[in-house]
Amino acid sequence: VLIEHFAGKFPTWLTPTQVHIITISEKHKAYASEVAEALKAHEIRVLVDDGDDTVGKKIRNHRKLQPAYMVIVGDGETEGRTVSLRARNGDQISGMGLDEFILAIREEIDTKVTQPSLVVVESVE
């Protein structure tokens, strides 16, 4: 019944692997591992793809698996100690602090919301 209700797109708290971490190149493997360990320390289920495929191919492959979030790790994220997110619903957030992401996804998991709720916040200037 749950599979039919959610059409296979389970909420974050129910998704088998909640976050897929995708590296842009080999030099980002170490930071991707750090991010994965930080998430695992907060009981967030993680998969790391540090393979040799192009980023586009990795994203296409992981989109089929329907994780709640894909974290893309590249030069900017490694240098800034941040993460860039792609939610299953299409929202994208760049340069989010890792601690901020952990708090937000833990809140989403703990409250058992049915849709990924991390949204892009536009700054007003």
For the chain, which residues make up each domain, given as ranges?
Answer: 2-110
Query: How many Å apart are CA 116 and CA 87, to the nearest integer?
Result: 7
Band of pLDDT at residue 64, cut at 50, 70 and 90: confident
Check residue 33 and give its pLDDT. 97
How wide is the angle at C-alpha 84 spanned by C-alphas 9 and 31, nearest 5°?
110
Check residue 120 and give its pLDDT. 42
* Short-list 106, 85, 109, 108, CA closest to 95: 85
> To which CATH superfamily is domain 2-110 assigned?
Anticodon-binding domain (3.40.50.800)
Model-wide pTM > 0.85:
no
